[in-house]
């Protein structure tokens, strides 16, 4: 079975010859220590190329000013011009190849800011159809092209205002959060319609659901802000024969039924304690036959464990979550991320892949 067919079957909850095995590829930038791992993944894993599927043809009217901050960071200040007034945000961006930036302030800090953002006109969207077709042709039978739709409505709004302000507004001004989510949902629905009209797909993805999971938010918030606004998007994809991958870190045990209710086809990374709160056995019991599990080798283990330990963890995961020969893609919980440590984790990735590829169909 080639990788394209194996992943198709995983997404469709059909029987597979073995689990899929995959790694996200957000490697540290300009880090040659990962060159050997990149080549090994390319040759031996089931590949997914992630492509942002759409762009706004009418981008938001914003200006960015860059200021010196320190030898390690620069500050970028964004001013967004809306019909109801300007909004500003700031972020510290690393100058030495740091994996993450540091958010200083957010565009939406108050209800008034949210109402100003809502005064923006809806953008026109364009499907990146030619880019998809070229990527799909290059991929061939080695895997699939994942058409990423960007942040889901709740995740996008949480990025606008930050997790703390989102949580506060969910108590004090819930209606304005719903208005922001509805606006984002409208944009994503328009994008999906453009993509489907251009024949793009069938593998789509969303992220951002992790902003509205326990412990910061309860199951009702998950349903009100994730399920309610994601389901129409997923329904549109499913009506066209497509499949949807959801990326969501965190404690998902109490909201696992919500992923099923919204119609998710694949969930990454379903983290076990201590990073999450659901074991592979618990996840499989809920997901069986309805949701493909992608994960859940914790990323730090790829740097800290021995290859023998990773092989044992992988074999246990396969025994637990692949007893029906369906619905499992073995994967670390995140991309390789430690600068300069590509050789440190190489043997562990090799052990994970070898363990999966050694699975024999019954």
Which pLDDT value is given to residue 101? Answer: 83
* Nearest residue to 202 (alpha-carbon basis) of 268, 144, 267: 144
Q: Which two tokens stand for residue 214?
A: 């326990």
Q: Is the pLDDT of residue 209 over 70?
A: yes
Sign of the alpha-carbon torsion through 137, 140, 142, 146: positive
d(CA 333, CA 23): 8
Q: What is the mean pLDDT of residues 17-34?
A: 96
Distance of CA 276 to the CA centre of its chain: 16
CA distances from 143 to 77, 131, 133, 326, 355 (A): 39, 16, 14, 17, 19
Which pLDDT value is given to residue 23? Answer: 98
The answer for residues whose C-beta is within 8 angstroms of residue 53's C-beta and 6 or more apart is 127, 128, 132, 147, 148, 149, 191, 195, 200, 204
Eight-state DSSP code of residue 196: H
269-279 pLDDT per residue, tens: 999 999 999 99
Q: What is the mean pLDDT of residues 31-45?
A: 98
Q: What is the mean pLDDT of residues 178-186?
A: 98
Q: Which two tokens stand for residue 310?
A: 């990773």
43-94 pLDDT per residue, tens: 999 999 999 999 999 888 999 999 998 888 999 999 999 999 999 999 999 8
Average pLDDT of the chain, as a whole number: 96
313 and 296 Cβ atoms separated by less than 8 Å: no
Domains of the chain, residue spans: 3-58+121-357
Q: Is the pLDDT of residue 20 over 90?
A: yes
151-172 pLDDT per residue, tens: 999 999 999 999 999 999 999 9
Give SS3 for 332: strand
The helix (run of H) or strand (run of E) holding residue 51 is: strand 47-52
Which pLDDT value is given to residue 99? Answer: 65
> What single string gives the DSSP state of each residue in 252-287?
-GGGHHHHHHHT-SEEEE-PPTTTSS--HHHHHHHH
* Nearest residue to 47 (alpha-carbon basis) of 362, 359, 353, 355: 353
Q: Is the pLDDT of residue 360 over 80?
A: no
83-137 pLDDT per residue, tens: 999 999 999 998 877 667 889 999 999 999 999 999 999 999 999 999 999 999 9
Which pLDDT value is given to residue 59? Answer: 84
246-300 pLDDT per residue, tens: 999 999 999 999 999 999 999 999 999 999 999 999 999 999 999 999 999 999 9
Q: What is the mean pLDDT of residues 226-250?
A: 98
CA distances from 270 to 62, 150, 198, 222 (A): 37, 20, 33, 16
Q: What's the pLDDT band for 362 if we cut at 50, 70, 90? A: low
Which pLDDT value is given to residue 296? Answer: 95
CATH code for residues 3-58+121-357: 3.20.20.210
């Amino acid at each position: 079975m080639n990788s394209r067919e194996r992943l198709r079957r995983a997404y469709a909850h059909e029987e597979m010859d073995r689990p899929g095995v995959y790694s996200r590829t957000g490697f540290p930038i300009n880090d040659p220590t990962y060159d050997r791992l990149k080549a090994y993944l390319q040759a031996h894993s089931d590949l997914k190329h992630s492509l942002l599927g759409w762009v706004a043809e009418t981008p938001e009217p914003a200006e960015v000013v860059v200021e010196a901050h320190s030898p390690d960071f620069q500050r970028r200040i964004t001013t967004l011009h809306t019909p109801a007034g300007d909004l500003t945000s700031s972020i510290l961006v690393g100058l030495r190849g740091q994996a993450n930036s540091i958010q200083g302030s957010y565009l939406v800090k108050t209800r008034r800011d949210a109402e100003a953002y809502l005064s923006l006109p809806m953008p026109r969207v364009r499907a990146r159809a030619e880019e998809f077709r070229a990527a799909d042709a290059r991929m061939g039978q080695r895997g699939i092209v994942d058409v990423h739709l960007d942040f889901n409505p709740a995740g996008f709004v949480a990025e606008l205002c930050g997790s703390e302000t989102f949580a506060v507004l969910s108590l004090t001004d819930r209606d304005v959060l719903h208005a922001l989510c509805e606006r984002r949902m409208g944009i994503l629905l328009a994008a999906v319609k453009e993509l489907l009209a251009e024949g793009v797909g069938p593998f789509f993805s969303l992220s951002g659901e992790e902003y509205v999971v326990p412990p910061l938010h309860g199951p009702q918030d998950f349903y009100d802000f994730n399920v309610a606004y994601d389901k129409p998007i997923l329904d549109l994809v499913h009506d066209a024969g497509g499949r949807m991958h959801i990326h969501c870190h965190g404690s998902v045990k109490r909201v696992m039924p919500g992923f099923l209710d919204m119609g998710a086809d694949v969930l990454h990374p379903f983290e076990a304690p201590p990073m999450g709160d659901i074991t592979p056995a618990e996840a499989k019991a809920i997901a069986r036959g309805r949701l493909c599990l992608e994960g859940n080798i914790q990323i730090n283990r790829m740097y800290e464990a021995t290859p023998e330990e990773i092989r044992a963890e992988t074999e246990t995961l396969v025994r637990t979550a692949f007893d029906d020969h369906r619905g499992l893609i073995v994967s670390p919980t995140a991309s390789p991320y430690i600068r300069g440590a590509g050789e440190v984790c190489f043997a562990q990735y090799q052990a994970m892949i070898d363990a999966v590829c050694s699975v024999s169909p019954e």
